[in-house]
Amino acid sequence: MSDVKNGRTDYGTGKESLIRAAIQTVARNGLRRLTYRSVAAEAGVAHGLVAHHFGSIESLLHQALRFAIDESLALTSFAPLVDTVDEFAEGLPELVEKDAAVQVFQYELVIDSRRNPDLVPEIEAYHDRYRAAIHRQLQHFGLDDEGLTDMVWATLDGIVFQQVALGRTASSKAALDRLRFLLQRTVDEASLEH
């Protein structure tokens, strides 16, 4: 993000700045307090600008979720592909530490999708995009196993969730080291079979 001015974060200009402000608002205050006014106050603009760019809170939420996923995937080592297991999910704990709001925002929407069926397609797309990125990476390591993909995705999701909730970066790093160790063993075993 940008600089803090007058106690308010400067998100830049345009639609992206409003999306970032919405993510921060939800992360700090919860989904139920997301309004045009709360986003406008966070971004330091008139609330009519938020309505102008998005038309509805639902549209803002959907666009913010897609933005959050794109940003998270771009900042992790899931895309582009890495060549060694040691590089897999590298920097994930630091990413969560640096920009926990993006992760909190995503989890808020995942939980709210249980109450709001309109969010379910977005949450399914959220799940599918992360899972597909992990599956591509595992295939690159020579591991084409759907069950393994599901296990790794669930493990990574759990690691991030616990770090967001408890702030234990060291625990996240230790868990990722163990996951990489197990993945390397699986890669080594698969290469012996071929």
Q: Report helix, strand or coil for 161.
A: helix
Give yes or no for a contact between 19 and 27, defined as CB atoms under 8 angstroms apart. no
Question: For residue 2, what pLDDT is reported?
Answer: 37
One of 3.40.640.10, 3.20.20.100, 3.40.50.1220, 1.10.10.60 is the CATH number of 1-55, namely 1.10.10.60
Q: Which two tokens stand for residue 51?
A: 């309505």
Q: In whole angstroms, give the CA distance from residue 57 to residue 44.
A: 18
Q: What predicted TM-score, i.e. pTM, was given to this entire model?
A: 0.84
Give yes or no for a contact between 70 and 130, defined as CB atoms under 8 angstroms apart. no
Question: For residue 13, what pLDDT is reported?
Answer: 55
The one-digit pLDDT tens for each residue of the chain (194 residues) are 333 444 444 444 589 999 999 999 999 999 999 999 999 999 999 989 999 999 999 899 989 988 988 888 777 656 678 999 999 998 899 989 988 999 999 999 999 999 989 889 989 988 998 999 999 999 999 999 999 999 999 999 999 999 999 999 999 999 999 999 999 999 999 999 87
Sign of CA dihedral 56, 62, 65, 69: negative
- Spell out the domain ranges in the chain: 1-55, 58-193
Give yes or no for a contact between 151 and 138, defined as CB atoms under 8 angstroms apart. no
Q: Residue 19, Cβ neighbours under 10 Å: how many? A: 24
